[in-house]
């Protein structure tokens, strides 16, 4: 459940950007740049500041690294 509370704000920002693009016609380049370089670090800082780091986060990072490595090997082989 904690993982959903961590990732949910990021998806909400992307959803607002998607709705804004469809109905208002936002400039995609400036919104994506702002979301990537300005909003994401604030969300990450807030998330790590309000949640205690546990071994679960280590396992998530380890899983992501192993998955990326496996995908890299599969891509290289094919």
- Total number of domains in the chain: 1
pLDDT in tens, 33-67: 877 787 778 777 877 777 777 888 889 889 999 99
37's enclosing H/E stretch is none
The CA–CA distances, whole Å, from 7 to 14, 37, 67 equal 11, 17, 19
Q: How many other β-carbons are positioned within 10 Å of the β-carbon of residue 59?
A: 10
- Full-model pTM: 0.42
Asked if pLDDT for residue 70 goes beyond 90, the answer is yes
In terms of residue numbers, what domain contains 37? 2-77
Asked if pLDDT for residue 27 goes beyond 80, the answer is no
| Burial environment of residue 29 by CB neighbours within 10 A (0 to 12, 13 to 18, 19 or more) | exposed
């Amino acid at each position: 459940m904690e993982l959903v509370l961590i990732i949910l704000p990021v998806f909400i920002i992307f959803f607002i950007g998607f709705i804004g693009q469809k109905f208002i016609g936002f400039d995609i380049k400036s919104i994506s740049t702002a979301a990537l370089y300005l909003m994401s670090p604030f969300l990450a800082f807030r998330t790590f500041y309000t949640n205690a780091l546990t071994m679960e986060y280590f396992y998530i990072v380890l899983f992501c690294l192993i998955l990326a490595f496996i995908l890299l090997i599969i891509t290289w082989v094919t």
